[in-house]
């Protein structure tokens, strides 16, 4: 069966390349993936599958139902692109100015369509069904939540869910399994300090929000070094500080925006509490007013240990032990975490770098490129996992 999946994936390589290049040429930003959504639905229709569109705006789902009833495997791909002007010079580069599939979601869609085509061929042998989930808006972490709200994990209920992300740090043909705690939670601090400002020469007549903001930026790093257990991981980074109009005017207000990440829900609570206290107390100390918002984003992503062990064994049998490695967790975030809060499952990395070029291109850059052979592996692994799960329940110990 495993060999069949690789063989079938090789046979449909040209289809996947065609679909991927079409997605790549017509990238769309989150919540606007209308053409993309139509293209997905049209390919699924050609494959002979029933399609439900318009979920969470532009999401699409489809079912590959086996002859016998049984469990349901969810396979998820994300479909949105990024606001980046492509500089790859590829003949099939983006035609949409300033928008690019720089996170490989074009490849994820083609892989899931490829897996759908393989599964459709083996439909008769499935004891249960495969739910294909094409999810919009991964990049701001809102798509998964919205799809779950639409009920994609119900009717039929999903028993296990898998996803993959192309990874340029690994060569094509390699797979990176992620630890049980794989991706960080991602929250946003959005705050403002307000003066009154005044002449830069006469600070005594003002309440300086820039000075307060500077102290806050420094003080928040003490939360990482003094409050968080040194054996835990956490990050606070400010990406925006805005305020002021001239070198000699103390402004009335300063706005700050930053990201807070960690790998543990208890640490997450502590970070929020400590940063809020610092913000308040610094405002008080410097006599400025403050407005503080802490926006909770994507939670920590936890793979199910039993599913991780199962796919590790499966992928090693398909690709060989040497091709499957265990990766470190990432302080990046991934909204697949929302599905994993509701259902057992796992996300794994799929090597996409041309041989000998791992780490040369990176995600979210204007020259990000993949070796298209990665789709053969991606579709084969996804299809094989679904088939194995539905053929006989793998031993999850
Ligand atoms: Zn991304
Ligand atoms: Zn991505």
Domains of the chain: 2-183+300-391 (3.40.630.10), 188-295 (3.30.70.360)
Separation of CA 347 and ligand 2 centre (Å): 12
Confidence of residue 393 (pLDDT cuts 50, 70, 90): low
The DSSP line for 294-336 is: EE--S--EE--HHHHHHHHHHHHHHH-GGGEEEPPPBSS--TH
Given this model, what pLDDT does residue 316 score? Answer: 97
Ligand number nearest CA of 350 is 2
* Burial class for 22, CB neighbours closer than 10 Å (0-12, 13-18, 19+): middle
The C-alpha atoms of residue 322 and residue 341 are separated, in whole angstroms, by: 31
**Residues paired with residue 256 on neighbouring β-strands, in sequence order:** 191, 241
Confidence of residue 351 (pLDDT cuts 50, 70, 90): very high
Tally of CB atoms within 10 A around 150: 16
Separation of CA 103 and ligand 2 centre (Å): 4
Whole-number percent of the chain with pLDDT over 70? 98
Given this model, what pLDDT does residue 76 score? Answer: 98
The C-alpha atoms of residue 394 and residue 397 are separated, in whole angstroms, by: 9
Separation of CA 125 and ligand 2 centre (Å): 32
Q: Mean pLDDT, the chain, as a whole number?
A: 96
Cα 234 to chain centroid distance, Å, stands at 19
**Nearest-10 Cα torsion for 360, 364, 368, 372:** 110
Separation of CA 84 and ligand 1 centre (Å): 11
Separation of CA 68 and ligand 2 centre (Å): 35
Separation of CA 79 and ligand 1 centre (Å): 10
Q: What letter does residue 343 receive in the DSSP assignment?
A: S
What angle (nearest 5°) sits at the alpha carbon of residue 375, between those of residues 370 and 378?
A: 120
Query: Who surrounds ion ligand 1 at CB < 5 A?
Result: 103
Ligand number nearest CA of 108 is 2
Given a contact cutoff of 8 angstroms between Cβ atoms, the answer to whether 143 and 30 are in contact is yes
Separation of CA 167 and ligand 2 centre (Å): 9
Residue 350 corresponds to which tokens in the numbers above?
């799929």
For the segment 291-306, the average pLDDT, to the nearest whole number, is: 97
Separation of CA 81 and ligand 2 centre (Å): 9
Separation of CA 268 and ligand 2 centre (Å): 23
Separation of CA 312 and ligand 1 centre (Å): 24
For the segment 166-191, the average pLDDT, to the nearest whole number, is: 97
Residue 331 has pLDDT above 60, yes or no: yes
Separation of CA 23 and ligand 1 centre (Å): 16
Confidence of residue 102 (pLDDT cuts 50, 70, 90): very high
Confidence of residue 395 (pLDDT cuts 50, 70, 90): low
Separation of CA 310 and ligand 2 centre (Å): 24
Separation of CA 91 and ligand 2 centre (Å): 23
In this prediction the pTM is 0.93
**Maximum Cα–Cα distance for the chain, whole Å?**
81
Q: How far apart are the first and last CA of the chain?
A: 23
Separation of CA 320 and ligand 1 centre (Å): 29
Separation of CA 354 and ligand 2 centre (Å): 19
Among the ranges given (13-17, 192-196, 315-319, 393-397), the one the predictor scored with the smallest mean pLDDT: 393-397
Separation of CA 184 and ligand 1 centre (Å): 14
Separation of CA 66 and ligand 1 centre (Å): 33
Given this model, what pLDDT does residue 394 score? Answer: 56
Residue 65 has pLDDT above 70, yes or no: yes
Give kind and range of the element (H or E) at residue 266.
helix 265-286
For the segment 341-363, the average pLDDT, to the nearest whole number, is: 95
Residue 197 has pLDDT above 80, yes or no: yes
Given this model, what pLDDT does residue 37 score? Answer: 98
Separation of CA 368 and ligand 1 centre (Å): 11
Separation of CA 103 and ligand 1 centre (Å): 5
Separation of CA 219 and ligand 2 centre (Å): 32
Ligand number nearest CA of 105 is 2
- Which residues contact residue 192 at a Cβ distance below 8 angstroms, ignoring those fewer than 6 apart? 209, 253, 254, 255, 256, 290, 291
Separation of CA 349 and ligand 1 centre (Å): 13
Separation of CA 78 and ligand 1 centre (Å): 10
Whole-number percent of the chain with pLDDT over 90? 95
Q: In whole angstroms, how far apart are CA 179 and each of 68, 308, 314, 371? A: 34, 8, 16, 25
Ligand number nearest CA of 186 is 1
Separation of CA 81 and ligand 1 centre (Å): 8
Separation of CA 144 and ligand 2 centre (Å): 13
The DSSP line for 52-96 is: EEEETTTEEEEEEE-SEEEEEEEEEEE--BBS----S--TT--SS
Confidence of residue 3 (pLDDT cuts 50, 70, 90): confident
């Amino acid at each position: 069966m495993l060999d069949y999946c690789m063989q079938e994936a090789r046979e449909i390589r040209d289809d996947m390349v065609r679909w991927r290049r079409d997605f790549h040429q017509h990238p769309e930003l989150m919540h606007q993936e209308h053409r993309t959504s139509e293209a997905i639905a049209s390919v699924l229709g050609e494959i002979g599958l029933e399609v439900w569109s318009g979920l969470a705006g532009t999401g699409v789902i489809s079912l590959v139902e086996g002859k016998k009833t049984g469990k349901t495997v969810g396979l998820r791909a994300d479909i949105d692109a990024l606001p980046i002007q492509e500089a790859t010079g590829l003949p099939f580069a983006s035609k949409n100015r300033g928008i690019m599939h720089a996170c490989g979601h074009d490849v994820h869609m083609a892989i899931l369509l490829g897996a759908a085509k393989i599964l459709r061929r083996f439909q008769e042998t499935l004891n249960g069904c495969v739910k294909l989930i094409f999810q919009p808006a991964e990049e701001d972490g809102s798509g998964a939540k919205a799809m779950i709200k639409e009920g994609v994990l119900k009717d039929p209920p999903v028993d296990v869910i898998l996803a993959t992300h192309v990874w340029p740090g690994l060569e094509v043909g390699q797979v990176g399994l992620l630890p049980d705690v794989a991706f960080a939670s991602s929250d946003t601090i959005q705050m403002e300090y307000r003066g009154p400002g005044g002449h830069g020469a006469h600070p005594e007549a003002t309440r300086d929000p820039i000075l307060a903001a500077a102290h806050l930026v420094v003080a928040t790093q003490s939360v990482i070094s003094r409050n968080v257990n040194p054996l835990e991981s956490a990050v606070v980074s400010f990406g925006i500080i805005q305020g002021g109009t001239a070198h000699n005017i103390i402004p009335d207000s300063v706005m700050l925006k930053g990201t807070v990440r960690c790998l543990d829900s208890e640490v997450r609570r502590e970070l929020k509490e400590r940063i809020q206290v610092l913000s308040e107390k610094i405002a008080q100390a410097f006599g400025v007013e403050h407005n503080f918002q802490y926006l909770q984003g994507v939670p920590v992503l936890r793979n199910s240990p039993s599913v991780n062990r199962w796919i590790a064994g499966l992928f090693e049998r398909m690709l060989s032990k040497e091709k499957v490695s265990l990766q470190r967790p990432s302080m990046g975030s991934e909204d697949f975490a929302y599905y994993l809060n509701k259902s057992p499952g796992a996300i794994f990395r799929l090597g996409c770098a041309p041989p000998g070029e791992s780490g040369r291109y990176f995600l979210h850059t204007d020259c990000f490129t993949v070796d298209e052979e990665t789709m053969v592996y991606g579709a084969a692994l996804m299809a094989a996992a679904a088939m194995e799960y539905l053929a006989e329940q793998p031993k999850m110990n």
